Chains A and B, each alone.
Chain A
């Protein structure tokens, strides 16, 4: 299979996935028990007022009509208007997206930067105390619950030690360079929280694939040729072990986005995850649809990129 065809197929699959996500999101939201008119109005609203609200939102139309209209608007780049805020969904999302990107990208980079050396360390000391210690840390990390980690970090490093601020993404009323510093200090605890819960799977995968790689014939040959263990580990085995880890990065992005909902809530971080949480409580369908679409596009794009990268790194993938 040619590279162009391989890339085209991956792109096509990505677009199909996004369409599927859009459709499922649309249907799921409307299957949810609950009436958006009730969520935005007072309980003593009359039946007439409720009917007026549903009409305003277009929710009095048949499901298929709503779906066709929604897809039509989507193709024109119109994500609709927020039920509760009466402003375009795109505006609602764009205000929040940069913060989520900053948080998840930081957590992803930290996970990779810390995860690879820890995985290598564990694999190169297989069976030793260090290996067991890293495994325990990895498994524990996977079992952690984001809000609990968040509150503990806030209590220790925010309240007791006073090293970092308690919530938000920056300090109000500061400008210029000071603002950037405040952005960084506000980023540390939420990013650390997300990193801690993601790190385990990365370290354990890295360790397992590297141990496999270290058992391969080419490593035995390298040893027989007298190459130093360090060179074998970092130059040869690690390069091959990184391939599955590349896939994991793409997969992790989805988990990071999911984790961001809870992390942003605990740390009062103004990202899109919190926007989703609020839109769910208000049954704000257009915002939810827009947010899920945006996240689906982000995750699919990252995974497609990973697939394509993988295809370049490992030619066997293209021909399979």
Chain B
């Protein structure tokens, strides 16, 4: 018996020692913050862990939100899609194949190194050379090289005239510290996981602690000239991971988190709007949801069939029922109203008219059977992870059946959906894009032959010529005119069926205020300036 007791005590002692080793140690106290800034912690909920800390590779939203607080962009974006200064104060073109950025001279990395034009040029050249898998590389098709011609001026050389590239690179690309990234080798392979002495930041916050699956703690960088007062207000920002949106909302309601970074599901917006202690911020959407008809299918190659399908969907009902009124019509045009410079209100939404659809099908040479159904059947693919599209796909199927057109729904897991999309394995593609900020870039990718997102497989010489003309046009009015002409062709030929722009709603605690909203879910109220400007109401 004595032996057994000794064993139990021994095991308990060993367990206690092991657990002691597990417990985190309290950090040493550091010096106080600035007089203007408070000592509050802003806790933000996100649904995914950081996948990659290298902003040139990063692909998940959490990657973007967290690395954005450390690695600045040259340009930001306004609600109408126009670009605004961030690190760059001026930008434009020297000639048709040379662009430039004039950057601020008061930015430093958190390790004391100056952030200058060399960092900007290095970042662009390294991305072009190493081809990392992020969005940035995709913007560099017509980019040849970048050169720092002074401490504050970067000039880029293009392979051909491209009137969008300066703004697109400036908006999509983060600038990384050359003195950290260059010694690490290829930017496509550098994990930047802080294992070699932590991170370096030129944003408002610096990542200091990572608890995988649980939280990401960032501490204030005292000198951040992009925010009023020059210092971020919250001393710490903690991103907490809640994979389930329902749990995330409960955490906001209970006060465990202050902000939810991802947009709320439409069904949750009204309920939370009426919940005490919670505020809802409306954020402009800069993307759209659409259906694309695969013209490799002989039936869908006929414009009458595409039009028949376009008139067989009740867009207003979709926006009212599925999106609960939280979406706007784009007039079935890829030039959304939010892009006010480009928007053409003479293009009108496809009217929901099943009689017109039937008539168009007959014009295309099809005869309905006794049950009123035409001898066609189309397979519509969508991602099951996208709950909104999953719902409206069902409505489209039902309304198309009223027009005598059979649609088979094929909802799949996201990776399968991506693979099927990539292989053109669909008749109708249903999906959405988060940000379509630049119409010329959007049209180039969507409607030129070989374009990365040309899901229609369209190759229309007239449209191609207009897009190429717009790409080379340096005058904004001229570019707008060309793009409106191109959009009219897309609408008339139903090369794309743009259904709505979804407005986004973000939830935060009424204990906080001062957020600065930017369009799109990627920026919303968790963009660097917004996070740095937020303050606790009680203070």
**Residue from B25, B133, B244, B422 within 8 A of A40 (CB atoms):** B133
Contact A53 B452 (CB under 8 A): no
Asked if B131 CB lies within 8 Å of chain A CBs, one says yes
Asked if B453 CB lies within 8 Å of chain A CBs, one says yes
Contact B23 A85 (CB under 8 A): no
- Chain A residues, Cβ within 8 Å of B48: 278
Q: Give min CB distance, A99 to chain B, whole Å.
A: 7
CA distance A268 to B254 in the complex (A): 15
Contact A46 B452 (CB under 8 A): yes
- Chain B residues, Cβ within 8 Å of A56: 188-189
Q: Give min CB distance, A117 to chain B, whole Å.
A: 23
Asked if B326 CB lies within 8 Å of chain A CBs, one says no
CA distance A274 to B215 in the complex (A): 14
Q: Give min CB distance, A290 to chain B, whole Å.
A: 15
Contact B243 A274 (CB under 8 A): yes
CA distance A259 to B363 in the complex (A): 56
Contact A167 B59 (CB under 8 A): no
Give 1 or 0 for each of B14-25: 1 = CB within 8 Å of chain A CB. Answer: 000001001111
CA distance A44 to B214 in the complex (A): 31
**Residue from A52, A172, A268, A277 within 8 A of B247 (CB atoms):** A268
CA distance A84 to B420 in the complex (A): 21
Contact A43 B452 (CB under 8 A): yes
Asked if B277 CB lies within 8 Å of chain A CBs, one says no
Closest to B16 in A: A180
Contact A42 B19 (CB under 8 A): no
Q: Give min CB distance, B430 to chain A, whole Å.
A: 15
Asked if A155 CB lies within 8 Å of chain B CBs, one says yes
- Chain B residues, Cβ within 8 Å of A155: 250
- Chain B residues, Cβ within 8 Å of A274: 213, 243
Contact A151 B247 (CB under 8 A): yes
Closest to B441 in A: A44
Contact B254 A172 (CB under 8 A): no
Closest to B133 in A: A41
Q: Give min CB distance, B449 to chain A, whole Å.
A: 14
Contact B256 A166 (CB under 8 A): yes
Q: Give min CB distance, A187 to chain B, whole Å.
A: 13
Contact A84 B211 (CB under 8 A): no
Closest to B63 in A: A84
- Chain A residues, Cβ within 8 Å of B213: 95-96, 99, 169, 268-271, 274-275
Asked if A215 CB lies within 8 Å of chain B CBs, one says no
Closest to A84 in B: B51
Contact A44 B135 (CB under 8 A): yes
CA distance A173 to B418 in the complex (A): 40
Size band of the interface chain A makes with B: 35 or more
Q: Give min CB distance, A45 to chain B, whole Å.
A: 6
Asked if A222 CB lies within 8 Å of chain B CBs, one says no
Contact B19 A180 (CB under 8 A): yes
Contact B138 A45 (CB under 8 A): yes
Within 8 A of A (CB), among B237-270: 238, 240-244, 246-247, 250-251, 253-254, 256
CA distance A150 to B247 in the complex (A): 9
Give 1 or 0 for each of A136-164: 1 = CB within 8 Å of chain B CB. Answer: 00000000000100110011001100100
CA distance A43 to B141 in the complex (A): 14
Size band of the interface chain B makes with A: 35 or more
Asked if B1 CB lies within 8 Å of chain A CBs, one says no
CA distance A156 to B41 in the complex (A): 27
**Residue from A41, A85, A96, A175 within 8 A of B191 (CB atoms):** A85
- Chain B residues, Cβ within 8 Å of A92: 212
A165-B256, A270-B212 as given contacts; A43 in contact with B453, CB under 8 Å:
yes
Q: Give min CB distance, A34 to chain B, whole Å.
A: 3
Asked if B8 CB lies within 8 Å of chain A CBs, one says no
Asked if B134 CB lies within 8 Å of chain A CBs, one says yes
CA distance A159 to B248 in the complex (A): 12
A35-B418, A44-B452, A167-B251 as given contacts; A172 in contact with B214, CB under 8 Å:
yes
Closest to B215 in A: A172
New A-B contacts (17) at CB < 8 Å, excluding given A41-B134, A265-B244, A281-B385: A38-B419, A42-B135, A44-B453, A45-B138, A52-B131, A85-B52, A85-B193, A92-B212, A151-B247, A154-B250, A169-B214, A172-B215, A172-B238, A172-B240, A269-B213, A278-B49, A283-B415
- Which A residues fall within an 8 A CB radius of B? 32-35, 37-46, 48-49, 52-53, 56, 84-87, 92, 95-96, 98-99, 147, 150-151, 154-155, 158-159, 162, 165-170, 172-173, 175-176, 179-180, 265-271, 274-275, 277-278, 281-283
12 contacts between A and B (CB under 8 A): A34-B415, A34-B416, A38-B418, A39-B418, A42-B137, A44-B135, A96-B212, A167-B256, A172-B214, A179-B24, A266-B246, A268-B242
